[in-house]
Chains A and B, each alone.
Chain A
Amino acid sequence: MLLQQLINGVALGSVYALIALGYTMVYGIITLINFAHGEIFMVGAFVGLLAVSKYNVNVFVAMAVAMVASMIIGVVIELIAYRPLRKSSRLSALISAIGVSIFLSSLALMVFGADAKAFPSTAFPVRQIKIGEAEISSLQLLIIGISALLMLGLEFIVKKTKIGKAMRATSEDYNTAALMGINVNRVISFTFALGSALAAAGGVLVGVLFNAVSFNMGLMAGLKAFAAAVLGGIGSIPGAMLGGLMLGITEVLGVAAGFSSYRDAIAFAILVLVLLVKPTGLLGRKIQKKV
């Protein structure tokens, strides 16, 4: 029973982690809480749904299409709504992000309507696999596998490639990186593209897992993923993965323990408790205060 719940938790947690990575990367580079990120997750889910239902592709192709589409959207959003505000106060950029978020969710409401849409059952044939007491669906395995693969890919890009090095340099010190000849604008666009692609993958996976895609799915998922990013220490990539998994597992265990009506509060209660003990998150760097 416990094993079963753990697997459910890891599956949910890996999706949170996928979304949280986008928050944490953007924050690491331009210290902006990108509130529109949850909506990109939602848009990704819709693009995937369209690909599956209109063109009858399988779930992997749909995910790739959704990732590419979201990449473009993410980069365009940064260009229009955040880049002009890079030099102004951070709160203005935050409100701009909230504006984008309201815009995208009401656009989705207009285009797709208010009720949740279901993925066609042909998108991914689900089989149940028995491991001892626990019963895992092939879907959960797929989610865990794809998330792990994407996170490894991200780790590779950030640690081993030239653009990854530029990303790390920019997040370390924006101005110095620019002085060293790094094209900071390109790095920021790339970061948005990367984060949006991961969120879109998460969106398609959640859409298939819960068999529901709706215009307001981005809000709660985005807030929880953001909580996960902060829990792990915002700006830290391993922190986002850890935070996502932790929130997913505790949420599922909390629901299993009978607190299902408090479901949405569990993630935030843990967040608040952890921050009180460790004010910069689990793996966050200590903030140096200087005069």
Chain B
Amino acid sequence: MGASLQNLVAGMDPYFLQIIVNIGIAIILALGLNIITGLTGQLSLGHAAFMSIGAFVGALLTIKTGLPFSLNLILAGSITALVGAMIGYPILRLTGDYLAICTLGFAEIVKVVFLNLDITNKALGLSVPPAHSSIPMPIMVWICAILAIVAVTFLQNSRFGRALKAIRGDEIAAESMGINLARYKISSFALGTFFAGIGGALYAHFLGYINPSDFSFLKSVDILSMIVLGGLGSVPGAVIGASVLAAAPEFLRFMSQYRMLVYGALLVFLMVFRPNGLLGGVNFVDLVLRKLGKKPQLAVRNGKKGE
């Protein structure tokens, strides 16, 4: 099976393939941040740092050990989640923007540390050898992306997911309903960073080269824009936001030097005209059920529903 998949990927246009892979990785990253910021309501401005931890751990595992790639991915994700939980433990006491700036500060520190460590080859960056796997990387990325979409969809409607949404709604009310704030916040942080770690490891092996400077503040902002653009807390929103923003630089390529200019203006206009994101407040499962007549149609849609 591995060989036929290899042939399938080899037959595709490499440029097209790269866009597809970028979208897949973006979806994994966006879904991770969606758990932290979208579901639990904790603004994180340092998601790229966790991605970089996963990328370097994954790359080093491939370089130093002969672990199969799937195990490598899980390890990279778990180590990132462990770091996430360790960081999350002290800083999740902070609220709102103080938390945001702390995650930002942490991300800058991680970047500078990676730029100075010998094992990460300092500012030169690391060349990543091909993964020890018979499944080609693009297929691997999309297997992970689909698993992530399924996992987060189920998570959202689970007991755990409802607890996170309660925290987002009102921390004090959630606490008085018996939700252990610290435990749930740290779990959501660990889970979100687990996705970031896997996304990072995939990114490292697909690109074959990683540099600490690639995981800067702007990368974190990119991922945050994806979930806000799609609509916070919505899985289809995160998928669409990630697809649009990961592909946008390619579609805007014909504007060459005006590309980032247009991208910036686009962000402003999208926010001004769709402040809750493209799909903010739209519940797809609900929508389908209503269309099928399994649930009554809503008479009036409350404008505030996206909050």
Contacts and interface: CB of A to CB of B under 8 A. Distances in A.
Contacts of A291: 172-173
Interface residues of A, number: 50
B74 interface: no
Contacts of B271: 81, 85, 92-93, 95-96, 99
Interface string B164-199: 000000011100000000000000000000000000
A100 B267 CA distance: 8
Nearest to B229: A95
Contacts of B94: 275, 279
A272 B106 contact: yes
Interface in B250-269: 257-261, 263-268
Contact of B268 (A100, A107, A110): A100
A262 B268 contact: no
A271 interface: yes
Interface string B105-130: 11011001101100000000000000
Interface string A32-46: 010000000000000
Contacts of A33: 97, 100
A94 B271 CA distance: 9
Given A91-B232, A223-B217, A98 B173 contact: no
Contacts of B272: 80-81, 84-85, 96
B113 to A, nearest CB: 7
B112 A262 contact: yes
Interface stretch (A5-13, A60-68, A123-131, A226-234): A226-234
Interface in A245-282: 261-265, 268-269, 271-272, 275-276, 279-281
Contacts of B108: 223, 264-265, 268
B93 interface: yes
B105 A96 contact: no
B34 interface: no
Contact of B98 (A85, A95, A279): A279
A281 B96 CA distance: 13
Contacts of A219: 217-218
A23 B151 CA distance: 39
Contacts of B116: 261-262
B109 A103 contact: no
A228 to B, nearest CB: 11
A281 B98 contact: yes
Interface of B: 37, 43, 90-91, 93-95, 97-98, 100-102, 104-106, 108-109, 112-113, 115-116, 171-173, 217-218, 221, 224-225, 228-229, 232, 257-261, 263-268, 271-272, 275-277, 307
Given A92-B271, A227-B104, A264-B108, 15 more contacts: A27-B97, A33-B100, A89-B276, A94-B228, A95-B267, A96-B267, A99-B271, A103-B264, A103-B268, A234-B97, A234-B98, A264-B112, A268-B105, A279-B93, A289-B172
Interface of A: 27, 31, 33, 80-81, 84-85, 88-89, 91-96, 98-107, 109-110, 219, 223, 226-227, 230, 234, 261-265, 268-269, 271-272, 275-276, 279-281, 287, 289, 291
21 contacts: A80-B268, A80-B272, A84-B272, A85-B271, A89-B307, A91-B232, A92-B271, A94-B43, A95-B228, A106-B259, A110-B261, A226-B101, A227-B104, A230-B98, A261-B116, A262-B116, A265-B109, A268-B108, A272-B105, A281-B98, A289-B171
